[in-house]
Amino acid sequence: MKKLFDYLPVIVFFGLYFASGRDIYLATWGILIASLLQIALGYLVWRKVERMHLLVFAVTLVFGGLTLLLRDDMFIKWRPTVIYGALAVVLLVGQFLRERSLLQRMCEAMMISGLGYVVPLVKRDWTILNISFVLYFSLLGGLNIYIAYHFSTDFWVNFKLIGFTLLNLVFYMGLFLFVYKRLPEEERQRLFHDRAAKPDAPTRHHEE
């Protein structure tokens, strides 16, 4: 449910675009309102405003607002590139600020939430993962703006929906295989066996 909520603005954008007969301006209104609604509902339901949601809203407000004000859809097409660029810069800078990178801290928090324990990786592995994300986000940002300037709006929207989805699938499958190959056999078994049979295992592993 929470994961679906994170994609609310994008879902609204695509839904309105295709339901309205490919009206990019109506879709822009939709993603702008949905981004604001995402922040409001997030605070009401979870009493927390995600930094990522704030970033998305700020970028959407600027570039979506310019699109609606100037009636130029090129501004909204810049939105993904700016977001991906910001993420790449944040992860790159975060690599050097602390002993544990921003990506590592985020991933470890998600591991504890989803698995109940932290998958053990050495510092070199975390560096490779972090640089992989930086390069991937940079690639997506560059690819997005290239398509925006060289192809039609309809092609751009369809590529964002289908092309970027396929690229994400390949990228995250590759990351999973990278992490999986570096796990000891015991940890591999933990990922694919029912941990409910060992209710104290996650806690014990975390304490160690």
pLDDT of residue 197: 46
Instruction: Return the pLDDT at 194.
Output: 44
Contacts 24+ apart (CB under 8 A), 31-35: 31/60, 31/64, 31/76, 32/60, 32/61, 32/64, 32/65, 32/68, 34/8, 34/9, 35/9, 35/60, 35/61
Mean pLDDT by 10 residues, the chain (208 residues): 81 96 97 95 88 93 97 97 96 84 85 76 91 96 97 97 96 92 76 53 40
Comparing C-alpha atoms, which of 25, 11, 149, 167 is closest to residue 84? Answer: 167
Find all residues with CB under 8 Å of 201, minimum gap 6, and list them: 116, 117, 190, 195
32: closest CA among 3, 4, 6, 62?
Answer: 62
**Proportion of the chain above pLDDT 90, given as a percent:** 62
pLDDT at 203: 40
Predicted pLDDT of residue 193: 66
pTM of the model: 0.85
Question: Rounded to an integer, what distance in angstroms lies between the CA atom of residue 143 and that of residue 76?
Answer: 15
According to DSSP, residue 161 is labeled I
pLDDT digits (tens, 9 = 90+) for 54-84: 999 999 999 999 999 999 999 999 999 999 9
Euclidean distance between CA atoms 20 and 186, whole angstroms:
52
**pLDDT for residue 100:** 82
**What pLDDT is recorded for position 1?**
62
Cα–Cα distances in Å, from 162 out to 1, 140, 165, 166, 179? 22, 13, 5, 6, 26
